[in-house]
Amino acid sequence: MFGPPPMGKPRGIEPLTETADFRADDDGCFVAASLSCPWCLSWDVGWKLREGGGYDAHATCRCGECGREREVFLTPEQELRLALQEERPLDTRPRSSDGLLAY
Ligand SMILES: [Zn+2]
């Protein structure tokens, strides 16, 4: 027989590493979706590229909704894309030419 579940906060398995999965030439909506918060699914995520770059490129992402932070590893191309977006916010509107809009 199984007893009642243990009391207290359940412990989840935290990922050891997370890698971004957008392409360098993806629309902003795909970049934002890739960096969205895995806990609350918010797109309101700010990022800061970390020093070092190169083959160890990563960004610290902070969720604007729940406040959680995480490190996301990037390819050099993804790092360049985010560096270009630091001064210019992502345009998260999907382009109709991408076939995302069916009507
Ligand atoms: Zn969140």
Q: How far is the CA of 69 from the centre of ligand 1 (A)?
A: 8
| CA distances (Å), origin 46, targets 56, 57, 62, 69, 98 | 20, 16, 5, 10, 25
Q: How far is the CA of 65 from the centre of ligand 1 (A)?
A: 5
Q: How far is the CA of 30 from the centre of ligand 1 (A)?
A: 17
Assess whether pLDDT exceeds 60 at residue 59: yes
Q: Among residues 4, 64, 8, which one has the least CA distance to residue 37?
A: 64
* Tokens (6 digits) for 83: 């560096």
Q: What is the pTM of this model?
A: 0.72
Q: How far is the CA of 51 from the centre of ligand 1 (A)?
A: 24
pLDDT, one tens digit per residue, over 32-55 is 999 999 999 999 999 999 876 567
